[in-house]
Each structure stands twice: as C-alpha cells, then as structure tokens.
C-alpha cells in the first residue's frame, strides 16, 4: 500500500505516580531522519525509540517528543549511618560525663544531615516498557494518517497518468496526419527521409511503458517514492525528444502538457514513502 510521509500520532503512558505523553510527527524527506525532544536524562532511550520506528518507517523527517506531566514529589531520605554515629557519640558522652540521655527521635531529625529532602528521580529504564507501549500506539495513529495520504496521492497520480496517455494518443494521431499531408507533396525518397526524421514510435512506446510501470508501483506500494521520481525523469527525456522531432503547434501544446504533468508527479513522489 502506498503511504505518504505526513502523519501525527500521540499516546499517553503511566507508571505508578508518573504520567507522560509521547508524540510522533513526520513530514516528507528523502531519507529516514529522526529528531528527539526528550526530558533531561532520557537520552538513554533514544536508541530504543529508533529501533521501534525504523521497523515501520522507511522515509520521512520524524520528530519524537516525550513529556512527563506528573511525577512523584520530593522524597525524604534518612542517613542511617549518620544517625548511628550521633547515637554512638551520645552514648559515649552520656557515660563519660554521667549525663542523662534525653535524646529523642525529634532531636535526631533536627540534627544536620540526618534528613535529606530530594526531588524524586524518574528512571527512564524503568519507564521504558510503558513508553514503548505508548510509542507503538502513537506510531499506529501516524501510520493511519500516512496511509490516508497515500490513497489521495494514488488517485491524483493515476489521474495524471490517464491524461498523459490521452496526450500521447493525440501526438500519435497528429504524427500520422503530418505524414499523410507531407506525402502528397514529397517524392518517395524525400518522404522516406522525412518519415524517419519524425518517427516517434520508439519514444511513444517507451513512454507508455513508463506509464504502466508507474501504475504497477502504485499498486505494489513498496517504497515507491524514489522509483516514481526516477521514472518521471525518464519520461522527461522522452518528452524532450518528442518535442524536438515533431515541430508542430498541436504537438508542442501536448508536450508542454506532458511536462507539466511529469513535474507534478515528481512533486507528489517526494511525498510518497
């Protein structure tokens, strides 16, 4: 199936108190070009994201954006080693100076370094399974959009191919008319030479072949963009030859129309994966 390269997909993920969103966008590009917008510390998952996307996307400039909306708040971390040191020294002082030990938990908590309040750390490796599920869901949505665009492009290119076929038929018809008209006024040997000079059968046959090749690509739908562009270049060469061999107003108009259609097909091929 022919696919375009413009698409968008978004999905949410959650792991415990952590919630986030991942977005995947793509536009046309000659190759597979991937850009990331990830939270600080999430660079470790870039390779995993690339592996997921490269299995389903062949061409396009793809942007992946990951955002964490909700995360755990601050965490209180108790330094038990330091608490042990405080208590050990307290007992030593109590014994040495025969003091009463009235040290309470509240006293310990207020001592420097016993309690450290830190922002909760989000570990990308722990989050990855949830992120991966969301990523695959977002990519499915993106693929749906690219498939819809592909259908529209097939319709548009197919219409242009039909019109090009009609133009070729008009050129073939006009070529025969020119021959009949000139045959009346030329000697046999002169006519034979003239006939060879304006013979466009090979160019027209190749052009029809290229049209059929394009139609097959549109049906096959596997990485057709670059192939369509290559065939369009070959069509352009045949069109130039047709215009140079048949110096005629009707043919010139048909050649101009063919060139216009070819250029538009090349533009559309740049939007096909």
Q: Are residues 17 and 130 in the same domain?
A: yes
Q: Are residues 13 and 141 in the same domain?
A: yes
Domain membership of residue 1 (yes or no) is no
Q: Are residues 95 and 217 in the same domain?
A: no
Residues 132, 138: Cα–Cα separation, whole Å: 10
The parts of the chain modelled with pLDDT lower than 70 are 70-77, 114, 117-121
Domain membership of residue 255 (yes or no) is yes
CB 80 within 8 A of CB 47: no
The model's pTM: 0.74
* Number of CB atoms found within 10 A of residue 232's CB: 21
Q: Are residues 220 and 157 in the same domain?
A: yes
CATH number of residue 27's parent domain: 3.30.230
Which pLDDT score, from 0 to 100, does residue 118 have?
Answer: 58
Q: Are residues 253 and 221 in the same domain?
A: yes
CB 12 within 8 A of CB 19: yes
Strands ordered across the beta sheet of 7-15: 7-15, 18-27, 60-70, 32-37
Which pLDDT score, from 0 to 100, does residue 17 have?
Answer: 84
Q: Are residues 234 and 137 in the same domain?
A: no
Number of domains making up the chain: 3
Q: Are residues 153 and 182 in the same domain?
A: yes
Domain membership of residue 174 (yes or no) is yes
Q: Are residues 203 and 264 in the same domain?
A: yes
Q: Which domain holds residue 56?
A: 7-72+124-145
Which pLDDT score, from 0 to 100, does residue 120 have?
Answer: 55
Q: Are residues 158 and 108 in the same domain?
A: no
């Amino acid at each position: 199936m022919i696919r375009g390269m413009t698409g968008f997909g978004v999905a949410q993920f959650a792991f415990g108190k952590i919630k986030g969103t991942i977005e995947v966008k793509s536009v046309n590009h000659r190759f597979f070009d991937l850009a990331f917008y990830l939270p600080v510390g999430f660079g470790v998952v870039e390779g995993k994201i690339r592996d997921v996307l490269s299995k389903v996307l062949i061409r396009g400039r793809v942007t992946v954006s990951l955002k964490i909306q909700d995360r755990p708040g601050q965490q209180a971390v108790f330094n038990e080693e330091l608490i042990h040191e405080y208590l050990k020294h307290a007992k030593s002082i109590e014994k040495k100076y025969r003091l009463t030990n009235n040290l309470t938990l509240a006293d310990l908590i207020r001592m420097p370094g016993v309690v450290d309040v830190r922002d909760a750390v989000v570990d990308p490796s722990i989050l990855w399974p949830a992120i991966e599920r969301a990523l695959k869901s977002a990519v499915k949505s993106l693929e749906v959009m690219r498939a819809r665009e592909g259908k529209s492009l097939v319709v548009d290119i197919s219409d242009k191919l039909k019109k090009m076929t009609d133009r070729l038929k008009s050129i073939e018809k006009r070529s025969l008319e020119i021959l009949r008209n000139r045959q009346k006024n030329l000697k046999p040997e002169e006519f034979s030479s003239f006939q060879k000079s304006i013979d466009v059968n090979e160019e027209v046959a190749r052009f029809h072949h290229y049209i059929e090749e394009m139609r097959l690509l549109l049906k096959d739908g596997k990485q057709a963009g670059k192939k369509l562009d290559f065939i369009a270049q070959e069509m352009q060469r045949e069109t130039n030859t047709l215009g140079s061999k048949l110096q005629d107003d009707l043919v010139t108009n048909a050649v101009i129309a063919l060139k216009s259609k070819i250029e538009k097909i090349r533009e559309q091929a740049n939007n096909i994966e």
